[in-house]
Every structure is written in C-alpha cells, then in structure tokens.
Amino acid sequence: MMKRVCVICEGQTEETFVAQVLAPHFYDLGLSLKGQTVPTSIGKKGGALNYARIKPDIERTLKQKDQPFVTTLIDLYKLGADFPAVDEVSEFQLAEKLKRLTSAWHSDIIASTGCRPERFLPYIQAHEFEALLFSDVDGIVRVNKAWSGASKELKAIKAKAESPEYINNKPETKPAALLERLLLSPKYKKVAHGSIAMKNVGLSAMEKECAFFFSVGIKYSPAG
C-alpha cells in the first residue's frame, strides 16, 4: 500500500527537487512524496523560515485523517533563532549540531501533536540546498556552456571541504553565494537554474558525497 509523505520545504526550488528528483526514486519503494511550501502570507509561499511559521504547518499536516509521514527540507544557514535548541548548539561540530537540533525539534512536535514518533522525521540541510549541487560540479556547469570556465575553481572549493555539506556557511562563502559569484553570463539563479542542475547532478552523486543528507533519509517500515 502506497504511503503518503509530505516534505515541508523552505522554498520553490526545494519543492521542485522533491517532485523531480526525490519522488520518482521513492515511488518504487511504496512512498508517495509531495513537497509543500509554508505560506508566508495570502498568495505567497517560501522564504526565510522561523519556527513560529513552520510549526503550525507541520502540526496541521500530521493531524490529517490519512496520517501521512512528514519530513522537512530546510537550510541550516540562517535557521530561525526560535527553533528548538538553536541557542544551545553553537559550540558543537556540524554532525552533533544537526543531531541535537533535529532531536529537539522532533521531541517538540511529538509532544504537541501526540502522533506516533516515526511519522515525523525532521531534516535540516547543511548548510543549504546548493551544497547538494556541489556533489557533482560537472553537473552544475553543464546547465550552461558559458559556465565551463568556472569548473576548475568550483572543484577547488569542493576539494578543500570535508564534503559539500561542510562548505562554509558565511554570507560570502555559503554554497549559493559561491555559485552566484562564479557562474556568470547568465548569473546563477536558484529558481531558474537550480532545477536543471539538480537533475544533472542526480541522487547517486548526492548519496556518495553528502553523508548527512542520506544518513537521515526517510526511515520507513511497512509495519510502522
């Protein structure tokens, strides 16, 4: 029996990633993935998320009659200061920081909804969605021939990091900022070019390069 999984996304590009890259892969595993972007105001969705905005959306989704599984796809970069435990993890290394943040978030949602613990699987992307694209630099530059000259520098950036997910989270050195600075004429735009790049890169490269992304995944048991 097909199980429904709602992936609550930070923005339009992440929602497209769910639809075009993740959903086809998980469909054969009996999971129907669908992304949903949190409303910001009437007629508008996406943008920077704080916990006060995303929590009600998660709670409403978990309370739906067909009891879907719920996961998330939001960035660690500029994570809202009101997220559970965010003021307690600054001293920790990346892996432990993500573990503590998602554990505290999970506990808070389970306490507020009373749903089965396995139905909510929070995921925070280190440090932002574009880190996944660095899994295959060639896949990025294939989006536009004019970008081929940036390949060497992008690969050098990747080589200096422990993995794409460790690429710096400062405003000027976060993954998206690096792409915007190096990919010119046309300049890299997340919405316009991200959907093409994500398909070029593909899940296999992301699985190989991005341990945090695939260490969480969607832990599903047909008996659950």
Tens of pLDDT, residues 71-108: 999 999 999 999 999 999 999 999 999 999 999 999 99
pLDDT number for residue 48: 64
Domain boundaries, the chain: 3-127+210-216, 130-206
- Amino acid 221: pLDDT: 36
1, pLDDT greater than 90: no
**What whole-number distance in Å separates Cα of residue 10 and Cα of residue 51?**
12
Task: Using the predicted structure, report yes or no on whether residue 218 has a pLDDT greater than 50.
Answer: no
The token pair that represents 186 in the structure block: 């046309």
Summarize the confidence of residues 143-162 as an average pLDDT.
97
Indicate the length of the chain as a whole number. Answer: 224
pLDDT band at residue 193 under the 50/70/90 scheme: very high
Q: Burial letters for 94-104: b for 16+ Cβ neighbours within 10 Å, e otherwise?
A: beebbebbbeb
Question: What is this structure's pTM?
Answer: 0.91
CB 144 within 8 Å of CB 186: yes
DSSP-derived letter for residue 124 is E
The pLDDT of residue 34 is 97
Least confident of 13-17, 45-49, 160-164: 45-49
Beta-bridged to residue 31, according to DSSP, are 3
pLDDT at 45: 57
220: its two tokens:
């599903």
Q: Residue 220: pLDDT above 60?
A: no
The angle subtended at Cα 196 by Cα 140 and Cα 208, nearest 5°, is 55
Mean of pLDDT values over 180-184: 97
Pairing of strands 39-41, 44-45: antiparallel
3-class state of residue 85 by DSSP: coil
Could you give the angle at which helices 175-182 and 151-160 cross, rounded to 10 degrees?
160
> Please, what is the average pLDDT of the chain?
92
Give the model confidence (pLDDT) of 22-67 as tens digits.
999 999 989 999 999 987 654 555 556 799 999 999 999 999 999 9
Residue 215: the pLDDT is 79
The predicted pLDDT at position 214 comes to 85
3-state secondary structure of 54: helix
